[in-house]
Structure 1
């Protein structure tokens, strides 16, 4: 590590120690459980943590109080999803944490369903420790310079102070449509003396790879220390091309905004994802029922967040489909698939590679959203909400920034956007290529 990076790293842990070493305690606990999955100590700890959460939920929330003294296992609890929690939010909140400090996170994920969740302070610390541990497993160290590729307009932006303290360079993935931005990213890596790492959407990396191929680039000096892909499927082309140009392996991370890091691929060109059983209890349920499926069979990924006491998220259906198995005594996902997203074109006929439905994070009054491309320059939104949508003009203008100022956009208000037979919901549909 460079001198200033080492100082950042040391300063981070010194500050944590002065505050009681809470992050370090979480980090050590996560490290032990993940690296010793068959240890009786790890097994007992996970069992105790789950039982403690369930008892907290039935004793402090209206939603689960009927289960008090009447449950024998987690299977006695109902399966919930975004809409379940959103429609009955107050009854999911723990009375013990109503007046406690809390952190609010808003997301649509890739589902088209705007959703907010509160996290208590200890859950926030757990997420930080998860991030540190799993980032380290990909080659990142606290203090490294992190370039973060994201659709930043859909999320809270980093302040200047946060950028400096966290050594983060945020890049909006929409701006990567401009070749000059890609060129700036490459130049920054080439000239930088820092230990550089990347975190971002897989499609952003693919865009950079194609730019380098088109320009017949040579390998980039000052190679990256780590590259983590999130939110989208990482294809073999991108993995191989990043390795070719940057001499760095890309690993894929499976996470969501409302919970945190659920699983991540290990280094070594592995296809599977190591499940974060240190912080979550994971079940795979059948597509058409709430029965658990056998290992090696596809089903709905349903998680219980072991550390969110503010809003206990028990048997929370993520909306994703996965296959769970065991490799080297480690619980893993051998397959994870998200929602169905078609390729959408803007009014100039250019491909939009990012999930635009993420922008509905800015409209929490919407329950669901689906974007359909009807023809060149013609788009149709299906919106599900309660009451009247008073921000139509703002909504249309925001999406025209991405689709094109001359986009012909129509809105339709619906009661529900149906799921596919697979259990997934299509959030971006191109009827031009499906007809």
Structure 2
């Protein structure tokens, strides 16, 4: 057994068993798979109804034999001690425990049983394998955050060693940091890049400014996998040009699993093996393929903690060409709490503001990156990282575009910073609204 698999096995996660389970699921015919999903949905609800007092109380008024009557679970429902949410037979000592990032505004601690967590890794390994990447042997250039305290720092470095990866901290995206990174690429046979979208976009911009192509510096590179933040098409084009390798889009949630992964046919394939994904409207009715709604997910294998009809907090569309066995995520629109409510009552996805601004101010090399905050219904702040102030012509162009695409009489203020502040994990939240729903 190789080092990565060995480390999972050593920590109690039966990866080889999980890979056999996954292989069995892949071998099912369409009809067999339909029956498998129907049974797994039924089984996971029955299991938690019988063995989890928290979940039994949560669904007390529902008919658990009728899937559509099972209530939707939100992050808010999980704001209580983890011990109170665990199923019988599970304790804090015999489960995998982690925390969500808190980007939704409702952070919480969650648990998975060891078999479920092993299946999570089996799915991830399978998807990376689509591109000839093997966690046991492929060297990863990792662009993530890293704890700043000594104990946390060295713990992550040790995990990186076991996982055959080298970490570049996203807390320093200066030219000097990227110059040091390039030296590492010159001397290390990396197989792929993996990390937060915004940090890898900054690497691509630096390479372009220097007239460099990463694969020419590091010929062993095969692919780049971006995660955790929105990937815009023009950023993907830039990265593919400056990296000279495929850029693969990943969508996941730590409390669940890998949700979707771009396949070699350039489709965003949803994980149907361990998750059941639905799109619901505001009244929790299931929407047909092709319609936009809330992404609601059921973890089919987690016995330690229920995630059944769990509202992930995102809005998306499943493609009309999908099947139960191979669902395709047509579009990920953004978080439900990233909606801007304008003075007229009109609602717009927060990323609309980000994208309008992006199309105007990023055609200059001055602005490295930026975020947008809604301070009042009619007031938005654009905070950007740049060595110089934006010109008056550029700021007026952004304001005019907001009026044209959204509505008149909006106030747009601009704030220059040397470096943008990231979350503790290293993510960059592109849009934030500080408006209460009833404000």
TM-score (norm. length: structure 2): 0.70
Distance 1:18 1:154 in 2: 27
Please show how residues 301-316 of structure 1 align to structure 2 within 5 Å. 301-316=295-310
Residues 375 and 71 of structure 1: is their aligned pair in 2 closer, same or farther, counting only changes over 3 Å? closer
Please tell me whether the aligned partners of residues 220 and 245 of structure 1 are also in contact (alpha carbons under 8 angstroms): no
3-state secondary structure, aligned to 2:53: coil
Please show how residues 18-417 of structure 1 align to structure 2 within 5 Å. 22-31=14-23, 33=25, 38-65=29-56, 70-87=63-80, 91-98=84-91, 101-142=94-135, 143-153=137-147, 157=153, 158-176=155-173, 178-192=174-188, 194-218=189-213, 220-221=216-217, 222-268=219-265, 270=266, 272-286=267-281, 288-327=282-321, 329=323, 330-339=326-335, 340=350
User: Shift of the alpha carbon at 1:204?
Assistant: 1.3
Please tell me whether the aligned partners of residues 112 and 427 of structure 1 are also in contact (alpha carbons under 8 angstroms): no
User: Shift of the alpha carbon at 1:310?
Assistant: 1.4
Distance 2:106 2:38 in 1: 32
Please tell me whether the aligned partners of residues 75 and 106 of structure 2 are also in contact (alpha carbons under 8 angstroms): yes
3-state secondary structure, aligned to 2:241: helix
Please tell me whether the aligned partners of residues 139 and 226 of structure 1 are also in contact (alpha carbons under 8 angstroms): no
* Larger RCO of the pair (alpha carbons < 8 Å, separation 6+): 1
User: Shift of the alpha carbon at 1:47?
Assistant: 2.6
Residues 159 and 92 of structure 1: is their aligned pair in 2 closer, same or farther, counting only changes over 3 Å? closer
Distance 2:130 2:102 in 1: 24
User: Shift of the alpha carbon at 1:254?
Assistant: 0.7
* CA deviation profile, 1:27-56 (whole Å, cap 9, x unmatched): 2433554x5675333333333322221111
User: Shift of the alpha carbon at 1:73?
Assistant: 3.0
Distance 2:86 2:6 in 1: 34
User: Shift of the alpha carbon at 1:84?
Assistant: 0.8
User: Shift of the alpha carbon at 1:78?
Assistant: 0.8
Q: Which of 249-258 and 162-171 deviates more?
A: 162-171
User: Shift of the alpha carbon at 1:22?
Assistant: 3.5
Residues 74 and 144 of structure 1: is their aligned pair in 2 closer, same or farther, counting only changes over 3 Å? same
User: Shift of the alpha carbon at 1:207?
Assistant: 0.6
* CA deviation profile, 1:385-423 (whole Å, cap 9, x unmatched): xxxxxxxxxxxxxxx99768xxxxxxxxxxxxxxxxxxx
Distance 2:109 2:12 in 1: 30
* CA deviation profile, 1:84-119 (whole Å, cap 9, x unmatched): 111475553212213651122112353232221112
Distance 1:30 1:41 in 2: 14
Distance 1:402 1:101 in 2: 42
Q: Over aligned residue pairs, what C-alpha RMSD do you find? A: 3.7
Tell me the residue number matched to 1:387. none
Please tell me whether the aligned partners of residues 223 and 246 of structure 1 are also in contact (alpha carbons under 8 angstroms): no
* CA deviation profile, 1:258-310 (whole Å, cap 9, x unmatched): 11201111124x2x311111011111100x21001111000000001112211
3-state secondary structure, aligned to 2:36: helix
TM-score (norm. length: structure 1): 0.71
User: Shift of the alpha carbon at 1:159?
Assistant: 3.6
**Structure 1: which 5+ runs fail to align?**
1-8, 357-371, 378-399, 405-424
**Structure 2: which 5+ runs fail to align?**
336-349, 358-365, 374-378, 385-416, 422-428
